[in-house]
Structure 1
């Protein structure tokens, strides 16, 4: 059976790290989430490739590969290999919790701008709809979901049917998945391609640099390349980025201060990385105080610039 039902109980077990967030979401929650750029390597799929999770299995056909290619062409970045480039929240892994998780285990921003990524859970926007049952099978076995009982195989009376017959059956899940993919496509247009080009030489064309991307994980770097890309489009965008930078420098300072009080050995590497983020922000502030060269982000037409400004302010989802 490839049918899965899902009913969130708001137990918070899967809220064990900061989520991937679109840039407007990070701007909205600038005093809660430290932003970073997460770069991952996405494996290319081949016809006849066998994907297996427990007893669930799929042999990829031409339609599956076409679906993967469609996602890659609109949401991902290719230069030999295929990569995902996303903005997301960042925090000390030792805390094992999302910064938006309240003391009672509930989401503090559930009704106040919860990231679309959280609505998509437990689905994966980079996987074709017809194969989402494999995502659910894998997450049903992961430590984050064990004991949560939110993902169940087959149709259940106590949980809405999420996937069956290669389709997303739940209308709310379909809508959330479409909005997340739309946001990723918009990010690619607004800043993604410009950032990809700016990192091409030092990262994507360097085997040594690419080796830093852990298998199945992400390389996290400062979000500054994203800010420089959008700040170059208008004076208003520049000011929005400067305001964001000031909030982030203050938040990083508070988080480091709390980490020093915890005195955990495993926090040291993250503290060092956060200090690097803060230094990058300071350099970006100095650069934004000068005239930035224009970058090819959408168009120089006033309507396009207004669109980007509105997007940063969260008017476009």
Structure 2
């Protein structure tokens, strides 16, 4: 999700930051999924590098920094899923990443057939039969001969990539800079991020970054924190009634998120007091417009 999408749904999605380790591709590398494979050449790697330069961070290894919705995996459902199985926010600010599924914005278009093959073989899609090879009279073709054949999918991928690039200017670059010394330049800390996996941390570094843009942004962040604290409390209470052992680590992490939010809220109130005494720092109208549009 984007930070704006989290602000649009503060009572539904618990926000967090997911830091992922992304494999750097090399010429001669062979990507194989089932009977599908690709031997990467210089052009393929240049396409991966082009996406990485605008959407990822490369202090040595390559990393993604994204906002994400967080919930108990044991629930095995999206928080926006209604009782009838439909999306409850389809017409009310549905996250753009949902439109991109099952494609991957971090993979060049001409290799998306490998993404589909992997998705089709994964447990996530098992039994759904929603990804099939070949043509059918009743369905449009999604990927065909190394190109995205479906126009809606083309546009969704392009919009998601633009959104990730905008996130970089709004907050992810600032978070990368803030965490570089203690995380990205520390081999011991980086060991916490598994290859192909994510390190999930509180959204607080992002909030402190955008809150510094203006008094309006600070107020929006405080409101968001209040909503998140109430949502986390409800989610933990529901988990305690389920009495599942595998929920316990998530409950512990959510309590950590809540504690971080309380400390951040105190810092934001202190920052407001300082600004009244000494004046506001240089404003970032782009960030204020970004957050304000999310909550209208």
- TM-score scaled by length of structure 1: 0.88
Worse overlay, 104-113 or 46-55: 104-113
In 1, are the aligned partners of 2:7 and 2:294 still within 8 Å (CA)?
A: no
Match of 2:278 in 1: none
Match of 2:287 in 1: 308
Give the superposition deviation at 1:164. Answer: 1.1
Q: CA RMSD in A?
A: 1.7
User: What SS does the corresponding residue of 2:288 show, helix, strand or coil?
Assistant: helix
1:53 paired residue among 33, 39, 42: 33
2:96 paired residue among 96, 106, 116: 116
Give the superposition deviation at 1:301. Answer: 7.0
2:172 paired residue among 192, 197, 213: 192
In 2, are the aligned partners of 1:27 and 1:313 still within 8 Å (CA)?
A: no
1:229-259 Cα shifts (integer Å, max 9, x gaps): 1000111111111110000001000000111
Q: Tell me, yes or no, if structure 1 residue 215 matches structure 2 residue 195.
A: yes
Give the superposition deviation at 1:151. Answer: 1.1
1:182 paired residue among 157, 162, 177: 162
Number of aligned residue pairs: give it.
Answer: 289
In 2, are the aligned partners of 1:25 and 1:314 still within 8 Å (CA)?
A: no
User: What SS does the corresponding residue of 1:196 show, helix, strand or coil?
Assistant: helix
Q: Tell me, yes or no, if structure 1 residue 75 matches structure 2 residue 61.
A: no
Separation (CA, whole Å) in 2 of partners of 1:80 and 1:187: 21
Matched ranges for 1:151-300 at <5 A: 151-291=131-271
Match of 2:75 in 1: 95
User: What SS does the corresponding residue of 2:160 show, helix, strand or coil?
Assistant: helix
Give the superposition deviation at 1:215. Answer: 3.0
Q: Tell me, yes or no, if structure 1 residue 86 matches structure 2 residue 74.
A: no
Normalized per residue, the structure richer in helix is 2
Match of 2:7 in 1: 27
In 2, are the aligned partners of 1:71 and 1:126 still within 8 Å (CA)?
A: yes
Separation (CA, whole Å) in 1 of partners of 2:289 and 2:146: 36
Unpaired runs of at least 5, structure 2? 276-280
In 1, are the aligned partners of 2:142 and 2:149 still within 8 Å (CA)?
A: yes
